[in-house]
Amino acid sequence: MYSFPIVLISTVLCALPSYAVEIITRQPFSTKPFSTDGRWMTNADGVNLTYAGVNWPGHGETMVPEGLDKMSVADMVTKVKSTGMNAIRLTWAVQMVDDILDKQSDGQLGTTFVAALGEKNGTEVLNAVLDKNKSFTKETTRLEVFDAIALECARQGIYVHLDNHVSKAGWCCKKDDGNAWFGDEFFDTKKWERALGFMADHGKTWPSFVSMALRNELRPAYGSPNVKVTWDTWYGNMTAGAEAVHKANPDLLIFFSGLYYDTQLRPIFNDGGFRDIDFDPSKLAYKNKIVLEVHDYDLDETNCTNKRAKLTQDSFAALGPISPDVKTVYPLVMSEWGFAQSPDQYSAPFAACLGKFLPEQRVGWMIWVLIGSYYIREGEQGKEEPWGLLDSSGTKWRCPECITEGIMPMIQNTLGVESPVATA
């Protein structure tokens, strides 16, 4: 866890750093493939682009993207689009691919909900999903649901970013859940590499699929005492995963997460953390595809100056400029952050600080999380998500004020464009 041409706003340009004014023209829904140029992600025309998006989880026990019992795929994407967002971080589990390749089963909806929720509740959720999504049937597979979301995102001008969240499907992230680190109980690195290549290849048919993350929130594996966390282990496995993605789909940007729940990136860009390894992207086949990702859930830090300083030291220094402490410059995206959706939280120190800092740095971001409840989470069926942008009905904003007064202005300032529903 835890576009189309639009008129620019002159006041936004004035509020951004000088380098931001230089690169903002418009944020079109863009041509593939994406590449990197220093600290920027660029499209095939060389235009710098930034993500402003939301997480849509599909890595839970059902391995079906959440919330489709409450709203159709088309309506869900429309809801995202209405804010002015341009990206969805769609999460998935290695187990889904293992089922396809090892069991020759892609988990039809008619069986996958019953398997996760039981006969009675699973059938009720299945019927609700089919009622909301008329093109689905009991024979529709989990992967076909991902296909439907990706194609709808393309139709509405939303980028798809795939994130491998876990190996064994379920809630993330605990240090003893078996999904924590390479070689952990459920984290088979060979099957993980295979799954990355499979999903990268499968997504070639998705018109707006432009980037893919290797793994969510790597962390110490307390359940596997013989599995040691080192930067050298990180390097060997992450480069192998990136090679699997690049071989299968060389067009994709590849997101590298760091250590300790994706809060520590510094050894990647200053080359200071690998004992015997030089992390030199110029030697890699995908050297112009690497993007770094960071997460922030430090709600206890109420001093924005301190938060900015820590983020800069641990991750944002990767944006440059080159210095004795920064050997290589990379694009950076905060692929997870969020807060409980209530009127007192969007203006609280955590959200207010990031709401200004990320646009100022021209850093892309995806907020956690879109949906208002889960099919099942940690054994509780229908568990409500207080951080969800949508409420428990799955159709309305949980905190309209948080959207219109907090998140939408942040989207506008991040993308340098006016939202299509700026005061809704």
Predicted confidence at residue 4, as pLDDT, reads 28
Predicted confidence at residue 324, as pLDDT, reads 83
For residues 364 and 413, give the distance between their C-alpha atoms in angstroms, rounded to a whole number.
11
Each residue's pLDDT tens digit, 334-362: 999 999 999 999 999 999 999 999 999 99
Q: Which residue has the higher pLDDT, 274 or 123?
A: 123
The CA–CA distances, whole Å, from 216 to 41, 136, 172, 294, 392 equal: 20, 29, 9, 10, 26
Predicted confidence at residue 18, as pLDDT, reads 30
Each residue's pLDDT tens digit, 138-169: 999 999 999 999 999 999 999 999 999 999 99
Res. 6 pLDDT band, cuts 50 70 90: very low
Average pLDDT over residues 76-86: 97
Question: Mean pLDDT across the chain, nearest whole number?
Answer: 91
> What number of other Cβ atoms are within 10 A of residue 201's Cβ?
14
Each residue's pLDDT tens digit, 65-75: 999 999 999 99
Q: In terms of C-beta distances under 8 Å and separation of at least 24 residues, what long-range contacts does 411-415 make, across chains too?
A: 411/52, 411/83, 411/84, 411/85, 412/9, 412/12, 412/84, 413/12, 413/15, 413/16, 413/359, 414/50, 414/52, 414/358, 414/359, 414/362, 414/363, 414/364, 414/365, 415/27, 415/50, 415/52, 415/84, 415/86
Res. 14 pLDDT band, cuts 50 70 90: very low
Amino acid in the structure at residue 304? C
**Pairing label, strands 159-166, 87-93:** parallel
Checking if the pLDDT of 10 tops 70, the result is: no
Predicted confidence at residue 275, as pLDDT, reads 60
Res. 27 pLDDT band, cuts 50 70 90: low
Checking if the pLDDT of 272 tops 90, the result is: no
